[in-house]
């Protein structure tokens, strides 16, 4: 009985180590999968809309970015929360990272003053890290880039990789 229990404990320890080694890899793969995605908030929703056509019009009208249906891998509306009575969020997956970067660059320059907000899509872990870092350092000093969170501290910028980095 004791020998069987020792074997089970050893197996459990080995499995725990494997899980701890796999968790960062899975998180990295999840963030890589979201690299070509953006969330667009505040764009009016119409009944029976064609999401691709809606996206193409939005990019042309608000961001002056040309996009064709072949440039879009997927686009759909994400169900909002009960307290959010506005239009549902558009989740967009582009076919290339280059187009996503063009949209994000145009967003910085052109969407100021409008109701349209464009955000990069982040994994749950990176998003939580972003929120915690913004709470600590303020939203103007924190930004996501390439699936990582950066913070401006004085004249230097620092990469935040985990909760331990938020000092």
What per-residue confidence (pLDDT) applies to 81?
63
Tell me: the pLDDT tens digits for 7-17? 999 999 999 99
pLDDT at 131 over 90: yes
Joined tokens for residue 66: 């040309």
What per-residue confidence (pLDDT) applies to 147?
81
Residue 163 is given by DSSP the state: G
Tell me: the pLDDT tens digits for 77-88? 987 665 667 788
Tell me: the pLDDT tens digits for 104-113? 988 877 666 6
Whole-angstrom Cα Rg for the chain: 21
Query: Could you state, in order of their start, the residue ranges of all structural domains in the chain?
Result: 1-33, 35-121, 122-167
What per-residue confidence (pLDDT) applies to 99?
94
What per-residue confidence (pLDDT) applies to 38?
93
- In CATH, what number does 35-121 get? 3.30.70.1820
CA atoms of 121 and 93, how far apart (whole Å): 9
Tell me: the pLDDT tens digits for 45-63? 888 899 999 999 989 988 8
CA atoms of 93 and 71, how far apart (whole Å): 9
The stretch 126-151 carries a mean pLDDT of: 90
Is the distance from CB of 49 to CB of 76 less than 8 angstroms?
no
Taking all residues of the chain, what is their mean pLDDT, rounded to a whole number?
A: 88
Joined tokens for residue 121: 């899509």
- For the entire predicted model, the pTM comes to 0.77
Closest CA to 35 of 149, 105, 117, 121: 121
Residue 117 is given by DSSP the state: E
Neighbours of 5 (CB within 10 A): 9
Looking at the chain, the whole-number percentage of residues with pLDDT higher than 90 is 45
* Residue 65 binned pLDDT confidence (cut-offs 50, 70, 90): very high
Closest CA to 78 of 87, 69, 66, 70: 87
């Amino acid at each position: 009985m004791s020998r069987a229990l020792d074997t089970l404990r050893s197996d459990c320890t080995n499995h725990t180590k494997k899980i701890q080694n796999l968790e960062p890899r899975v998180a990295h793969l999840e963030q890589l999968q979201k690299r070509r995605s953006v969330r667009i908030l505040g764009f009016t929703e119409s009944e029976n809309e064609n999401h691709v056509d809606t996206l193409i019009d939005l990019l042309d009208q608000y961001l002056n970015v040309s996009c064709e249906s072949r440039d879009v891998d997927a686009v759909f509306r994400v169900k909002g929360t009960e307290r959010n009575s506005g239009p549902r969020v558009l989740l967009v997956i582009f076919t290339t990272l280059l187009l996503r970067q063009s949209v994000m660059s145009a967003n910085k320059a052109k969407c100021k003053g409008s109701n349209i907000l464009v955000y990069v899509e982040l994994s749950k872990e990176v998003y939580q890290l972003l929120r915690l870092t913004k709470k600590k350092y303020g939203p103007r000093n924190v930004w996501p880039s390439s699936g990582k969170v950066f913070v401006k501290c004085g004249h230097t910028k620092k990469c935040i990789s985990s909760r331990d980095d938020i000092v």
